[in-house]
Structures are given as structure tokens and as C-alpha cells.
Structure 1
Amino acid sequence: MTEYLLLFRNASAPEGYLATTQDMAEDMPRWQAWIGNIAVQGKLVSTAPMVYDATVVKADENESGPYKAPNSVLVSGYLTAKSDTPEEVEEWAKSCPILKYPESSVEIRALVPFPI
């Protein structure tokens, strides 16, 4: 099986996420069900939301705050999972709860095994 990284992207406000605490609380059962569906198949590796605060390190400087695309979209969480086919992962992504928000997306990337 191949491991895949799913990056959850969402629009943001100048100093935080657009989703309110209430939005997040209301979404929690949907996220639990969605992640649980992957987990019961034995395919979940890990997942976590990300706090808004971040530091972007570049060769010549550090920037305070998360990296945002020009339209204020940023990575807000991730999931890694195993699958035999990229099509299965695409089907998971199509039903991801993040997609209810404007400007949101799920980016799917296959991971290359890297022996340490």
C-alpha cells in the first residue's frame, strides 16, 4: 500500500481561521465520522488540525504567521493514510468536511518511503 498525505486548505481571516469556535464544534461529528470511516478500514496513519500561529523559515529570514496563498488560503490540517489506489483517496477527499467552506480544498500527495 502507498501512503498518502491529504492537506486540508481553507480560507483565513487576517489573524485566524474564518471558521468560528461554534462552526468547529458543529463540524466535529462530521470530522469524527469521516476520519472514523478511514480508520475502521485500517488505513489511517495519523491526522491533526493545525493551530493558526506559525513561523515560515526562509534562507535569509523568518516570517511570523502561517504561509498564505494570495487568496488567504492556508493549510489548516492534514491526514496521512494508506491505500492501494489513488482513486480511493480521491473518493475520501470528495467527502471531506472541509469542502463545505468557500475556497477550501484537499490536496492529495503520494508519499515516498524514506528509510531513516
Structure 2
Amino acid sequence: MSNFLYLFRGGDDAFDKLSQEEKQAHMEVWGQWMGGLQEKGQLLDGLPLDKDGKVVKNRGDLVTNGPFAEGAEMVGGYLIVSAKNIDEAVEISKGCPIFDYEGAFVEVREILTMEH
């Protein structure tokens, strides 16, 4: 088994247009999906990310407000899942509730180990 990082991108504009009740209902769908992954032992970690942040360059010589990505490119959250291989990780990601929003996508990346 390997660990994979899901980076959730886009969908924020559509989500922001929902009523509070619709947002709550959608968050319950996320909770059910993530709960299912946890029951199967596939969910290791994951949280949403704040829209604001800082970008650090040149070892801290330059610190600016950021991130600067456009809406569809903005990373809104992440999960770390366990899967046999990247194909299984991709299959797992297909059930993600982020796909309820046009323009949203999941970037799936294997987490490598650091060899000393």
C-alpha cells in the first residue's frame, strides 16, 4: 500500500453561491464520503484550507500575500489516502463530492518516502 495526496481544486465560486442550508447539506455529503473511506482504512488525514495565505520566496527575503492562483487552480483542501497504486487512488477519488461543482477537480499524487 502507498499513500496518495488528493489536492482539491476549483468549485469555490459555485459553493459560495449556495444557501447556508445547501452548504450544510453538501458538507454532510463530504462527511459521509470521508467516513466511508475511514471505515475502509483508506483515509489517513485531510482538511479544508483557508483561502488566504502567504507566499515565501528567496528564503524569506520576499513574503507576499497569496496564493495567487485563479479560482479553478486554487487548492481548497486535501486528503491523504492509502491505496494499492495510483489507479486505485484515482478510482477512489471518483466518488469525491467536489465533482458536484463544475470546474472542480482532484489532483492525485503519490507521496514518496525520503531515503536517507
Answer whether TM exceeds 0.5 for this pair: yes
1:1-116 counterparts in 2 under 5 A? 1-12=1-12, 18=16, 20=18, 22=20, 23-59=22-58, 60-69=61-70, 72-114=72-114
Higher helix proportion: 2
With over 3 angstroms needed to count, the CA separation of the structure-2 counterparts of 1:115 and 1:40, relative to structure 1, is farther
Structure 1 gaps of 5+ residues are none
Query: CA contact under 8 A between 1:10 and 1:105: conserved in structure 2?
Result: yes
TM-score, normalised relative to structure 2: 0.82
With over 3 angstroms needed to count, the CA separation of the structure-2 counterparts of 1:46 and 1:68, relative to structure 1, is same
Structure 2 gaps of 5+ residues are none
After TM superposition, where is structure 1 displaced by more than 6 Å over at least 4 residues in a row?
none
Q: Which amino acid aligns with 2:25?
A: E
Cα deviation for residue 88 of structure 1 reads 1.8
TM-score, normalised relative to structure 1: 0.82
Query: CA contact under 8 A between 2:7 and 2:78: conserved in structure 1?
Result: yes
> Percent identity, aligned pairs only?
30
* Aligned pairs, number: 112
Cα deviation for residue 72 of structure 1 reads 4.9
Query: CA contact under 8 A between 2:44 and 2:82: conserved in structure 1?
Result: yes
RMSD: 2.3
Cα deviation for residue 29 of structure 1 reads 1.3
